[in-house]
Structure 1
């Protein structure tokens, strides 16, 4: 049995990733903004929810598949758009997309990917590929990305709205994290202590594949905050969303929503889904967790669009809890990145399989034969003594 097969939980994959990555790169995945209060709340608020199992139910056959944005997903799970996945493992975006395709779930490519739109599409034909777009200062560059994604067969556009500026991620500031890595004494020592990661990095390097000459890595060292400030448009509004949606002319979802009013805006503009997210606690700290914000968003959307929960999902039971709160599916970022950093494609596949195994067992023991049958009655609510 390989060490990846011995990874029983997502936490085990995190441990393996920490052992393989230089500290500053691991903390780029692991860290959040400010005090990291929201980062912790994302996990803790889901963990506090309790389930109410029922017995005497036929659960001999169980169904984990869901209908998501007009297609079937084998699990209520989407691999979230994550920047610089190719920094953690050579060809990171490609191998993650391949693992998602094999598992029958969607993969969303980040604007800030190492592998380009075209490279991922060519390497992983088929599958349910989505493309995530940040709003860019250069409208021609943004339009070009939309055309490239459409031509390359990406089915769904994911517009991320919560990156007007870069969140203040203090671990990255302390680590002086840049792309490419700045050769400080401490960074050199960290890298030399991780020879397996270093060998892959030296063979493949790192770049912002979708930006070509516009990427800061083409002109020296740049922090991610500098990259965002150089390229992303802080003046974008709902009118920008509407214009991009018209140009895309296909299914689109809006990511980075916590407010019910914002969710309603997205639905009124024709979004197929709203992704309730605080960017994994990496943007504004001390905002509601995704799980805490979800019920009010569900009431605002009122069935007119699908809702996806993004943030704090670490267990198969979290998928059940999200469904019980009304969400159609969940996005995961850190969990699959830990698998990726630990072992490449087998690591991502293992992360997805852990969720599948845990979800299947949870359905059986909850007394619910299908994900579609999970509802609010599956949550334990303490009886009032009033």
Structure 2
């Protein structure tokens, strides 16, 4: 960074990144457009997970031209290792996590700092808003914001201000990491939820401010969405095993449905009759269609053909992943299956 006077304070943006050549330039424009409060300077530390699509070269060339950007290697190639390496390389008294697939209001960082100073929280963030471009992405985003998928999670409530258990992305005073540690590198997914859980259980506080505005770009296909939520579901039991904390009811519903579906299928195969399977599958199909109609009425009727598959991908991906995760937790697996240790996009 360029030399600054001693009274200038630094905010560090930490970014895990891998193979993001199509998105990294838009992300950089969004970050460098930030309007910081007076007396603050920006540092951006990107942990690149050995990209092989030209992302690394673009980052290093940009870093040569702009001293605010620091590029480091992330040989672990997953989010948690990238966050920890970027955190260790950063210098700011305030640390803001950003994601390459998210765009940010110009006052995003300023609002984060404002919320930290106003609340004294150990972590602050804004609501998780999703917007898509293609019809499938728009359907994925519309379902994501719906209570049918969120189950009342406050992180999806765009107008909510208050204390929460977890928050999208995050902004921390550096003392939070000194007190509660960094991110769990055994977790490929859910490392942010686990870190917030560690903060709250350790006596810290997490605040959500609706004025902290950003927009997340979801997966572009139903298959990619299913793989993403398969991973989310798989790693959640590992978080709960670590903290000996039960899941929220909304996290158990997909797991319970998949187990019931499996039991009904097994009963049918063993000649015990098709009625339970037909009732369960038919009831779920009817509920998905009803939810699709409700969501389409709010988000646009053109999305209706895509919504049933999108909703099923959310539910079944998370449910199947959770069942596999609980099975591995019960067997005493410590670090998870290698197939779930690769990030998907």
The answer, yes or no, to whether TM exceeds 0.5 is: no
Structure scoring higher RCO (CA < 8 A, sep ≥ 6) equals: 1
TM-score with structure 2 length normalisation? 0.28
**Higher Rg of the two aligned structures:** 2
